[in-house]
Structure 1
Amino acid sequence: MATKQERSRPESAFQDNVEEGDKNDSRVLLAVFVLLLVDLLAFTVILPLMPSLLDYYGQVDQGGLYGAIQEYVDWFALTLGIPQTRRFNAVLFGGILGSLFSLLQFLSAPLIGALSDVYGRKPLMLLSAVGIACSYSVWAVSYTFGVFVLARVLGGISKGNVSLATAVVADLKSAKSKGHGMAVIGIAFSLGFLVGPSIGAWFSRISDEGHFFSTPALFALTLSICNIVFITFFLPETLPKEKRAKSIGNGLSEASFLINPPSLFSFSAVKNLTKKELESLQSLGSTYFLYLFLFSGLEYTLTFLTHNKFQYTSMQQGRMFLYMGLIMLVTQGGYSRRISPGTEKKIASRGMAILVPSFLLIGAAESTLLFYVGLGLFSFASATVVPCLTAMTSAYGGTDQKGTVMGILRSLGALARALGPVAASTVYWGLGALPCYAMGGLLLFIPVLMLAKVQTTTDKTDE
């Protein structure tokens, strides 16, 4: 007969393995948090500088790419009978650049993810970090608009690290660790967008007045080099060779699906759902896309609005981002965390409804006080909508389909962010700030009505 001590050995070994696994997961999550935070601090440095950057190129690059595009824009405005408002050209150029960056990210991220399934997460994370560092080095010497566009193209193509970080978290064995990992990614985003813009504004203030962007760019480059070193020595490989895809073929097939809009909107890769569930999932995906399309476009034009209407400097832009980030961080850390399961639909609808008056206030405000009231509503509401829509979507599909469902949702969001800035900036350029924000705000009633028709479902993996 086995003794009590002998019977306890397997249990003890199992407990040791669990504890060791938790420690390994914790190390991975810490590494993911650090590399994402450093990357996002570098990425957000440029946000408060964009209006000033485009003004700069408008003055120094009239004989280059900026001047050539501006001539075409002037001809286009004359053809349509739009008044010559060159001060709004920067808004249009900024929207085009924002959409170009996001479109390249939308196209490259699935490919980078597919390559990581074959070659591992760490090598592709390093490759992405090197590409990002190259984009910042080009930005630091972008004395013409053409070179600046090249820097943004390099950055957009290389910006696959967020999707790779999500894949690293998905590789973890413990469901608890995966949940913590998603929270860690959210915290890194919040802190990055809270602090990064202020750092960029401060560095631009102490830079040489002629090339005010060089010091912020060099700071971003320094952070990206630190990230390369950190990934090399501290990020463990989470996808062992025996679990990797044998060939790139299947991965490329899935990547091509994730950049095919009809397939995305139909969720055709999701199997084993009832007709009613699939229709609800498709409606939810369309709601998510339309919301982010409208939201991202108006969000992107905020810095140009304050630059044109209130003559904000880069430092004032940085303080604006700090104000928004603090409200979003407090909302996500307090209110959003306490949302009860099953109430996400109501909270998301309420958030989108609050955004309607916030955009109207932002567009119509003639005083800083009224503008900041609208901005406060904007920051609070925007911190609740995406988490709720994401939680609703995650309830669809079995365990083996969750990754597919969420991958499609991320791609729909990336596509919306690729189209939103250029659409909103075109309306802003042609009609002005108030019509742009009024139209965008009122159109938000459409996703509210779409969401009202969505039939919620329970997560079958919890049953």
Structure 2
Amino acid sequence: MSDTSKSEVVAPSSSKVIGVVFVLLLLDLLGFTLILPLLPSIMDHYAQTGDAAYQSLQSAVNFFREALGIPMEKKYNSVLFGGLIGSLFSLLQFLSSPITGALSDGFGRRPLLLVTTMGMMTSYVVWALSRSFATFLLFRVIGGVCKSNVSLCTAIVADMPCPKARNRGMAMIGVAFSLGFTVGPVMGAYFAVADRTTGHVFFQTPALLALAFSTADFIFIWLALPETLTQDGKGFSSGFWDFRDLLNPLALFSFSAVTRSKDPPSGDRMQRLKALGRVYFCYLFLFSGLEFTLSFLTHQRFHFSSMQQGKMFFFIGVVMASVQGGYARRIQPGRHITAVRMAIATLIPAFVLIGLSWNVTVLYAGLALYSFAAAVVVPCLSTLVSDHGSPGQKGTVMGILRSLGALARALGPVVSSSVYWLAGAQICFLLTAASFIIPLCLLSTARRLKAE
């Protein structure tokens, strides 16, 4: 049998890999999102117990709240505290994602997925056993360091040689995100209520369920996931051991770990990769900021209860899953920049409607446009970036992209909430809507480089 025939037999089919990636990422996200609706209650729980670590962190939140003139109200305090915890998580992902991606280029995607999933299992054990806020923070730190499944899954999809398969795979990753963030929080809220009725600590069952999902994920990866990085493609780039290339934000924006590698992309392709990285960061910086302040607006203007907030995010998740499963995965190769430009442009009227919304109908009209854009931009940009780099660089490339997104998600909410409370909701949403012109201009640069 020829070498070509052997590779055809050994190489896993794209459809099988996409299916496995979808299931393992969905299991991971279901476990990860169980905690989201519980964060305000968890903060209140540690506040009532007089936990010393909680009180120390509360002082920092109070300083930020008073500096911005945010009213002293339980709902706002919960959102701010949750945002602070979320920013910590994003900063840890910013640090760990490029390193994990680079390691997967050397050791393979499957071993790194098994290691990081085991790390997530450990974090859920810590959560289930936590009885102090310091232990709870340890759970979030371990989870932030080990939560590299998404960048590794995008690297697996990037390993596929067929552009159509890569596009379909990135869209299915988006569908897994939408389903996970739609179903997981509902499950977390349900089991927390059940725990309260039985007299247990209200987060005990959600923590154990998250551990169960993560364990099932580990077993599924072990049994079903093939290694997609070929033996010839494995190898560390020359810049891997220079941690400045993987941790320095300026080096990440320049994709220096890829530039300094033994087989860097051509000059034009590197310039296009850098342009796409800037678009990705700028988009998520603006988007995550308004996503964070959305809870402020709905509570302040429409007096949404927690249930109404849950219904709103359920609506967003359903629309996103529908768009990703129907439209995004069918975008033809070569049409992704056009699709991203249309989606980002859609965010301008979306946030204008949300910022000016005078009733719930107008709010939901803006949310529908918002959901469409959110379903398209990240999968398409991930597909575009996945086309860059040699087979042994895909993990590094996708890890750096994920790191830039994590940095944007750490900074965006702080800046956006500052503008919201200092200038008002309308100014915040209208100003940020206009700011989406910036990623549109950056996208034009990437399009021009492609044409050249």
TM-score band w.r.t. shorter chain: 0.7 to 0.9
Match of 1:203 in 2: 191
Q: Deviations over 1:391-417 (max 9, x none)?
A: 555566788877665554333223222
Aligned to 1:328: 320
Deviations 1:266-292 (A, max 9, x none): 3444445456x6555544432321111
**What is the match of residue 43 of structure 1?**
32
Query: Is 1:413 the equivalent of 2:400?
Result: no
Q: How do residues 3-402 of structure 1 correspond to structure 2 at under 5 angstroms?
A: 17=6, 20-21=9-10, 27-58=16-47, 60-75=48-63, 80=67, 82=69, 84-87=71-74, 88-170=76-158, 181-208=169-196, 211-238=201-228, 244-245=234-235, 250=238, 252-253=240-241, 256-268=244-256, 269-270=258-259, 271=264, 273-274=266-267, 279=271, 281-303=273-295, 305-306=297-298, 310=302, 312-339=304-331, 341-365=333-357, 367-393=359-385
- Judging changes above 3 Å, is the alpha-carbon distance between structure 1 residues 375 and 417 closer, same or farther for their aligned structure 2 residues? same
- Find the aligned partners of 1:376 and 1:303 in 2 and give their Cα distance: 16
Contact 1:129 1:227 in 2 (8 A): yes
Show CA shifts across 1:404-435 (max 9, x none).
65554333223222322333344445556444
Aligned AA for 2:99? Answer: L
User: In the alignment, what sits opposite 1:440?
Assistant: 432
Structure number with greater CO (CA < 8 Å, separation at least 6) is 2
Offset of 1:75 from its aligned partner?
4.5
Cα distance, 1:421–1:144 mapped onto 2, change above 3 Å? farther
Which of these two proteins has the greater Rg computed from alpha carbons? 1
Aligned residues: 444
Q: CA deviation at 1:250?
A: 4.5
Aligned partner letter, 1:109: S
The residue type equivalent to 2:213 in the other structure is L
Distance (Å, rounded) in 2 between the aligned partners of 1:335 and 1:39: 24
Q: Which moved more, 1:416-425 or 1:113-122?
A: 113-122
Question: How much has 1:324 moved relative to structure 2?
Answer: 1.0
Task: Tell me the TM-score normalized by structure 1.
Answer: 0.80
Rate the CA distance shift 1:183–1:20 in 2: closer, same or farther, 3 A.
farther
Q: Is the 8 A contact 2:22 2:172 kept in 1?
A: yes
Question: 1:108: Cα distance to partner?
Answer: 1.3
Quick check: 378-387 or 451-460, which moved more?
451-460
Code of the residue aligned with 1:327 in structure 2: it is V
C-alpha distance in 2 between matches for 1:378 and 1:110: 29
Change (3 A) 1:241 1:83: closer
1:29 to partner: Cα distance: 4.2
Secondary structure at 1:253 match in 2: coil
Q: State the partner residue of 1:5.
A: none
Deviation at 1:329, TM superposition (A): 1.9
1:416 is aligned with what amino acid? A
Distance 1:196 1:279 in 2: 39
TM superposition shift of 1:104: 0.6
Contact 2:53 2:133 in 1 (8 A): yes
Q: CA deviation at 1:356?
A: 2.5
Cα displacement string for residues 108-161 of structure 1 (whole angstroms, at most 9, x for unaligned residues): 122233444444443432221122122223333445433332221111011122
Q: Match for 2:178: what amino acid?
A: S
Indicate if the aligned counterparts of 2:166 and 2:383 stay in contact, CA closer than 8 A.
no
SS across alignment from 2:219: helix
* Structure 1 residues 21 and 174: CA distance shift in structure 2, 3 A: farther
1:375–1:55 Cα change, 3 Å: farther
Q: Aligned partners of 1:437, 1:141: CA distance in 2, in Å?
A: 41
8 A contact 2:103–2:112 mirrored in 1: yes
**Could you report, residue by residue, the CA deviation over 1:220-257 in whole angstroms, capped at 9, with x for unpaired residues?**
12211222233333334455778654xx7947426642
Query: SS state of the match for residue 212, structure 1?
Result: coil
Percent identical pairs in the alignment equals 48
Q: Structure 1: how far apart are the matches of 2:420 and 2:342?
A: 26
Residue aligned with 1:66, SS: helix
Deviations 1:142-197 (A, max 9, x none): 45433332221111011122222334445567777656544443333233233222
2:103 and 2:111 mapped to 1: Cα distance? 10
CA-atom RMSD in angstroms: 3.7
**Equivalent residues of 2:61, 2:81 under 8 A apart:** no
Give the AA of the match of 1:85: M
The unaligned stretches of length 5 or more in structure 1 are 1-9
Find the aligned partners of 1:324 and 1:119 in 2 and give their Cα distance.
38
The one-letter code sitting in structure 2 at the alignment partner of 1:47 is L
CA distance in 2, matches of 1:309, 1:316: 13
Conserved? CA contact 2:68–2:418, under 8 Å: no
Matches of 2:224 and 2:332 in 1, distance apart?
A: 37
Q: Structure 2: where are the runs of 5+ without partners?
A: none
Change (3 A) 1:279 1:168: closer
Decide whether aligned partners of structure 1 residues 455 and 366 sit closer, same or farther in structure 2, where only a CA change above 3 A counts: closer
- Give CA-to-partner distance per residue, 1:45-101, whole Å, 9 cap, x none: 22333344434444x1545233223334435555x4836534423232222211111
- Counterpart in the other structure of 1:3: none
For 2:272 and 2:126, locate their aligned partners in 1 and report how far apart those are by CA, in whole Å: 45
8 A contact 1:392–1:456 mirrored in 2 = no
